[in-house]
Amino acid sequence: MPASRSVVIGVDSSTQSTKAAAVDAETGELLAVGRAPHTVTGTGGARESDPEQWWTALATAVRAAVREAGVPAASVTAIAVAGQQHGLVTLGPGGRPLRPALLWNDTRSAPQASALATRLGGPASWLHRTGSVPVASMTAAKWQWLREHEPAHAAAATGVRLPHDHLTERLTGLAVTDPGDASGTCWYGTGPGPGGAGRAHGSGGAAPAGSPDTVADPGGASGEGGTGAASGEGGTGDASGEGRTGAAGAGGPGHPGAAGSGGRGRPLASGYDDRDRTGAAGADGPGRTGAAGADGPGPTGAAGFDGRDRAGAAGADGPVRPGAAGGAYDPEILDLLGLDAALLPTVAPSGATRVGTLTPAAAEALGLPRTVVVAAGTGDNMAAAVGLGLGGAGLLDHPVVSLGTSGTVFAATGARPADRGLAGFAATDGTYLPLGCTLNCTLAVDRFATLLGLDRDDTRPGDGVVVLPYLDGERTPDLPHAAGLVTGLRHGTDPRAILGAAYEGAAFTVLRALDRLLAACGLDPADPAVRDRPLRLIGGGARGRAWTDTVRRLSGRPLVVPAADELVALGAAALALGAVTGTDPVAVATAWGTGDGEVLPPLTRDDATWQRIDAVLTAAAPTLLS
């Protein structure tokens, strides 16, 4: 490869490991993948990891990727991190973790989640505000658990981050997140809600990344390409125009609101920045930040956001600070949680927003130039969607099943469904990413294989045996205290049938969540036009014959198994390139062809097995699984 060829790096920081993909920015060719493991500790419902280990793993994986790609470090132009969702990272002095992070699959916070769900008007209100009802995996429940069980740590926290936020901050020195990962906290509004703290779509949804040095406004109201508290083509709310925000009023595309609005390309009063312009109090335009009390379009903080790209005057409020109607963080929820908004990262408009460049310490750790651009990044599910070409610039309403440590189902949609069994996430590109998640997938089935002394592919259909492999509790359905259940055994039962039943139970749980997701999006799962749409199967399980056979048999759908192994990292790489070029990352991934793969024809759906598992789950849920 010529030394002048541009290389971007996408990082997948998952539960078990970090993977860094070095990608040719022009062709999307995966040049190399560096890897480093993580350690997860905890017994019972506890699941924790040391965030410092994530940082060490990231540096190790990036260095390995660049070395194995055989390219000079100077070829690397940008990097983005996609991380496991929901984890709670509490920071202390110097931005270092106060304690191990509470991971997404830590179920100790189930009582706190249940209690929170009854507050603020109950589950319906939570759905209206955030798109999700608190469950044990959500960050809000974990923060509440910390407050109740480790109040000294909660009181000492100087910052509260998600895993990907923390790593982006280690790269840049700046506290930034994106709408996708933020939407998994249960304190970020993804739809119009009481108090005006929600997020809604105008024409086209959230603003795209824009130019590398421009940050559009995800705050108060929505114009064409904007996001905000209220919706309509052009938007209503605080004020709205294409890329403009004001203090009050309403506007359509191109029409700024009343007091304090700033026009596109017009520098405002004091504090003008030689790159992106800084406005005076109450004023704002794309790439500019207002002074005290203003809602600026770019990520801002009390003492300023970025010495190169974005600056805010002391006390400035960026789009994520509550106060003005339409702030992305819900102030009533933060009050309920006793969580100061100042502890939270700024929300960039998208995961492809340019945050800044590497700090000297990060450049040294990664062995890269300081000029490497850092994108805001996102959660792992959002990055996988980008890697598959799902979003406003690609495929909408195309279902995906991911088979990994957890099993997830999701689709990029134009409207956010409200279903308490699903997470109403934002995608990172301004569309929505409703998602159902099961805690028990490949690791749970592998555990059954170990208990039975079988190879994971040494299996046959369940033949009357039903296994609900809920070894870590369950999320969809919401059964955080559940344990595994096996029923239907006979003297002559073949151990391979028990393992096959474990596959069936896990696949059933995921596919049942998929049917629920499709229905919540206004689609009939039984409609041939919906049923015959290929199901994209990703994750480690997608490479296993037993998994693909079971999913085909229980779903009756054709499958697309993408050829690319590292869709999360590839999606992150597309975000990185978007931060450099301003190109929509979904369009980047589509051009790269990262979601292309083998098409497997459907099998006749095994309705008898489906109904048998469904009957056992229905009967067991009130008693054995509670």
* Residues assigned a catalytic role: 380
Residue type, 343: L
Helix H or strand E segment including 96: none
Residue 511 CA neighbour count, 13 Å, CB half: 31
Q: Which two tokens stand for residue 324?
A: 């003005």
Closest CA to 399 of 564, 556, 530, 586: 530
Strand intervals (E) in 223-264: 227-228
> DSSP for 365-425?
HHT--TT-EEE--EEHHHHHHHHTTBSTTSB-S--EEEESSSEEEE--BSS----TTSEEE
- Whether the link from the prior residue into 477 is cis, omega within 30° of 0, is yes
Residue 180 near residue 433 (C-beta atoms within 8 A): yes
CB-based burial label for 608 (10 Å; 0-12, 13-18, 19+): exposed
DSSP state of 269: S
Note the residue count of the chain: 626
DSSP state of 103: P
Residue type, 296: G
Q: Are strands 346-347 and 354-357 parallel, antiparallel or unpaired?
A: unpaired
CA–CA gap between residue 193 and residue 609 (Å, rounded): 41
CA–CA gap between residue 164 and residue 141 (Å, rounded): 19
